[in-house]
Amino acid sequence: MAVLVTGGAGYIGSHMVWALCDAGEEVVVIDRLSTGFRWAVAPEARFYEGDIADRELLQRIFAENRIDAIIHFAGSIIVPESVADPLSYYENNTAKSRALIAAAVEAKVPHFVFSSTAAVYGTPDTADPVEETAPLRPESPYGASKLMTEIMLRDTALAHDFTYTALRYFNVAGADPRGRTGQSTKGATHLIKVAAEAVLGKRQGMDVFGTDYPTPDGTCIRDYIHVSDLANAHLKALERMRAGGGSIVANCGYGRGFSVLEVLNRVKEVAGVDFPVRISGRRPGDAVSIVANPAVAMQELNWQPKHDDLAFIVRTALDWEDHLARRNQI
Ligand SMILES: O=c1ccn([C@@H]2O[C@H](COP(=O)(O)OP(=O)(O)O[C@H]3O[C@H](CO)[C@H](O)[C@H](O)[C@H]3O)[C@@H](O)[C@H]2O)c(=O)[nH]1
């Protein structure tokens, strides 16, 4: 059987495709290449260029391949952009996911893994690592658009022969330790990626968005997870569903948080390079602090982190940025 990866030419999706190929899976990718890159897709995978809401294309993909699982990454992922343009987030993330889920049900694809996000929680009531049962109060259209998809999946699983795993990603960073793929999108906004660009001199320093948050150093706290560990959680989810496990929602993070300033200091330390940091105002849609409790992933999915060292995450991100610079793909 084959696995269909939506958004398989993107940052996390392309890691997933390599991880599936490494695990001996047959892989099919659909990506419209709006932010992803054809070269990022492992050559072993079968590639279809197009939109996940294109019903005819999906019918063709299901007819041409024996797909028993979909791993759904395609979507928009930038919190402040979602605040500025909410309807495109409800279109790309919610409406198109609905179309994909409908096509999956129609084609009787039994298993579905969904890229959800910690943004569904908003800012939790306490500084403790957040559990999946915590209140769901997204603070951005991005978080809301993903939560709506989780709700559609829950209701679809109740009505049809359909099992899903929603993985709530915390802050994904780093690159393939073997250097095959990494975060390559232009105009990056994610903290470690932006810092890596500053190290390489691709930008003149960077901004810290808000130093007046109620945290020890005043900057926001996040749980940064290495992209390969995240891809591995998807493999475990697939394995579990194929073995008959039911639908489940699981956090993907390590259970420890770093502030923005701590991350930037670590980047400077690992790179051995200093770069200018400007203190700017708060960015719309940012939650104050969000750290995962990964117990469900560890117990139910049998997931074990392998790269939970911030310096390693940063090192692989820097290596990838260096690789991009040498390929002149900045
Ligand atoms: O140049 C920058 C970039 C980011 N930040 C700060 O760094 C923190 C992390 O920001 P990112 O943009 O790296 O990530 P987000 O926390 O906004 O969002 C990410 O994590 C979310 C869950 O926490 C979702 O999964 C989402 O897809 C993903 O973009 C925030 O406080 C942000 O304000 C800066 O100070 N300067």
pLDDT at 329: 54
Could you tell me the domains of the chain? 2-174+224-252 (3.40.50.720), 191-221+255-302+304-327 (3.90.25.10)
The whole-number pLDDT of residue 330 equals 45
What are the DSSP calls for 167-222, one per residue?
EEE-EEE---TTSS-----SS--SHHHHHHHHHTTSSS-EEEE-S-SSSTTSS-EE
Query: How remote is the CA of residue 255 from the centroid of ligand 1, in Å?
Result: 17
Q: Over the chain (330 residues), what is each successive 10-residue block's mean pLDDT?
A: 98 98 98 96 98 98 98 95 97 98 98 97 89 96 98 98 98 98 92 97 96 97 98 98 98 98 98 97 91 98 97 98 82
Show the tokens assigned to 85: 């343009």
Inter-axis angle of helices 191-199 and 310-327, nearest 10: 60
Cβ atoms of 17 and 81 closer than 8 Å: no
> Would you call 73 helix, strand, or coil by DSSP?
coil
Ligand 1 neighbour 220 (Cβ under 6 A): yes
Among protein residues, the one with the nearest Cα to ligand 1's atom 2 is 191
Residues 6+ apart with CB under 8 A from 143: 79, 117, 119, 120, 121, 122
Best residue among 12, 35, 147, 283 to mutate for probing ligand 1, ranked by most atoms within 8 Å of CB: 283
Residue the block writes with tokens 């993070």: 253
pTM recorded for the entire structure = 0.96
> ipTM value of the model?
0.96
Q: What angle do CA 63, 69, 73 make, to 5 degrees?
A: 105
The C-alpha atoms of residue 6 and residue 224 are separated, in whole angstroms, by 23
Pick the residue whose CA is nearest to atom 28 on ligand 1: 171
